[in-house]
Amino acid sequence: MTILSQTALQEIDEIRQNYPTARAALLPALYVAQREFGWLSPEAYAAVSDLLGVPPAIARGVGTFYAMYKNKPMGRHVVQLCTNVSCMILGAEKLVDFLKNKYGLEPGGTTVDNRFSLVIMECIGACGTAPAMLVNDDFYENLTEKYIEEILGKYQ
């Protein structure tokens, strides 16, 4: 009895074959589970640990260590905005305020309509074209308030 889809189960099985130990396969396997639900719920951890034969406490330890695993429910689209040095200098903090005022989107929070979640992230290597952000897996740079509005419009 697992909550993972057939595709996910298969994918994790394949991942497992590529690693010498079950623990080594934990990181990519957790990604698969996160993709299924948008975040890693206790049930998701249990499912992955059961599948790989890794104790669940260990899986949760790993999943809570890395920032790119989400340990609470996320909105339909996850906005990850960089506020590290370059982005900050070029106005990322104003963009944070903009998101708050325009969409009611607080750092670490989710909009009431569950459309967006905002995660403040560290450098994504786009200092030359700062400020930069990710929406889900899509990358955007040279952000302005207007540009953000235009981008977010694409994500319903």
Q: Least Å distance between CB 45 and other proteins?
A: 7
Tell me if 77 sits within 8 A of 116, measured CB to CB. yes
Contact letters (x/-) for other proteins, 28-67, by CB under 8 A? Answer: --------------x--xx------xxxxxx-xx--xx--
Amino acid in position 140: Y
Say how far apart CA 100 and CA 154 lie, in whole Å.
19
φ/ψ of 77, rounded to 5, equals -125, 135
Nearer to other proteins, 36 or 50 (CB): 50
Query: Does 6 engage in binding with other proteins (CB under 8 A)?
Result: no
Nearest to 111 by CA among 136, 84, 74: 74
Q: Does 104 participate in binding other proteins (rule CB under 8 A)?
A: no
Q: Which residues lie near other proteins (CB under 8 A)?
A: 1, 42, 45-46, 53-58, 60-61, 64-65
